[in-house]
Structure 1
Amino acid sequence: MSLAFPFSAIVGQDTMKQALILTAIDPGLGGVLVFGDRGTGKSTAVRALAALLPPITAVKDCPVNSERPEDCPDWATVPDTDLVERPTPVVDLPLGVTEDRVTGALDIERALTKGEKAFEPGLLARANRGYLYIDEVNLLEDHIVDLLLDVAQSGVNAVEREGLSIRHPARFVLVGSGNPEEGELRPQLLDRFGLSVEVASPTDIDERIEVVRRRDAFDMDREGFIAKWQPEDAKIRDAILAGRAALRKLEATDAILRDCATLAVALGADGLRGELTLLRAARALAAYEGDAAITRDHLATVAPLALSHRLRRDPLDEAGSTTRVTRTVAETFG
């Protein structure tokens, strides 16, 4: 039994929770960037969602969590190929991490003691089929962020150095969080994250009291608190699993595609990645809510998540990017 804080017990932060749920339904959305104050539940929400999801079935000794023995990489020594269930992986990427630690590298100890050239898997191998969480992503070195975004998009980690030529699956949901006061991400990196959320500390007194009350109850009796919220978590889990099953059945009509393009043009979003993400997020939301078709309501709901971080800065408009998206949606859709 996981002892993570229950996802359904998180007070407020509905937009952040919604974004994480959408990535659980469609991991191909491209991850989530969460910017906001410290102590607003960013890392708690990621771990809570991963704990809520059903366990994955994986080969016991496979370093990349392969689903079947035949999927294990050729370079991996897998003594035990029995299938086991394990929690959805959540791997933390620390600041100051080296590229070797992220991608994997030559196993120096084995090379020196046995004279064998072997690959030592990195964090990307452990994160396969799970979540890779980066706190303070805006402080991470640019070349590491570039590498992570490339792998997250391709789903493959390729290592070509030190005489090694290694490839292995690395399909994960990338979640980055940070405080904008400590530095901003480069625009081209912002654009590569699928969804973006801004979070803030609650200002409502009753809501703050409820946050403290639930956290205190969790710290005093973790198992009892988790058991209390388990039925609510189960409802979300069932809706996510149903959403995954329904995802491919939801086709985008010409009208919806036109709405996506019209909205992106009205906002001045660069490239086509924004409207592609908008469409996928709207489809995931429709699947999660059990709807038979993608509608403008779905587009309007997810538009701030998919587009707010892709806007060019307008020195004549002091409104925040989320406000600009919401306003443009209202003007475009009436």
Structure 2
Amino acid sequence: VFMSIPSTQTLKRARRFAGRMKAISACLPCAMKKRKCSDFRPCQRCLRLGRESACVDNPKVDRPVSQSSVSFLANMSTATESQFVLKNEWSYHVVQRLWSYGYKAHELERLFNSIPVELASQMQRGFLALQTMHRMQAFNARLLHESGESCNRLDEGNTTCSIPDEWATNRVYGVLQFSFDPQTNKRKQVAMNARYAELHGYHQEEFLARYANHELDLHHTEVDSIILLLESLQGLHEDRSTPPAVRHYRVCLPEGHGGGLLMRTTTAKAFNARGQATKWTIVAEAISPAEYDAVAARHPAVCPLAFLAGDARPGARLLADLPADRAL
């Protein structure tokens, strides 16, 4: 089953019926007993009763995606700087871009405020270069428009998120797609297959709803997240000639789903004629500790923990230390 967030046209129709739609927040076991249920799966009551499987295997959509997509697209344009209380003079626009992906605002605030002052200063220089590049591209677009050349033609290309059928039902590889508005640099649409959600410990419907409502927790420890932010600065000058980026790292799973796993991701970006990224496609797969160790030994540059942080722990130790690392 393949699901995606509706387009703007679908959103307009959904808004007309939004007042008559009622989302079911309780899982099936709690709904049957008419008990209070939390908004994540498995819920606290099912965890306490040892009924995680019945809670997670609920075939109903806890929060209908059509309703969730309405709040997602509406909230994107109303995000304000007051949502983030940032230290070290972090640019609001840097955090806002990550927030638009779907992460919780307070999670991002906590992450950025935990970065040491010296490191934050160096990272801000890189992100400032990215913002400057985006402003120059937008300025060039205005000049082209004023000179009579159609800006729409420069944005031509398939920016619709769609996953082929053979990937939609794949049980090994998870696939996630983002499309971006090249003018605002914000997310327009998201699509994923069921396997991508499973790799992160969620059902497809709930994971997509969390993306839509900015309810995503960070999938990494605090230190790992900072390292991956640093690694992302290496992609400032990527263009259509840049090959897909391959990375190997560990992922934290939600409570009740085990500690975590090691993952390989391959990220391909699509660009318009102005060199702006319009769509990302991420293919993810779980790997064994032995696979991670082999790659880290031969190609450490594709393992951010080893390459940027000098973390020489083998894959099995990274997984064993995950609970302690999350508590730091």
Which structure is richer in relative contact order (CA contacts within 8 A, separation 6 or more)? 1
Give me the TM-score of the superposition, normalised by structure 2: 0.27
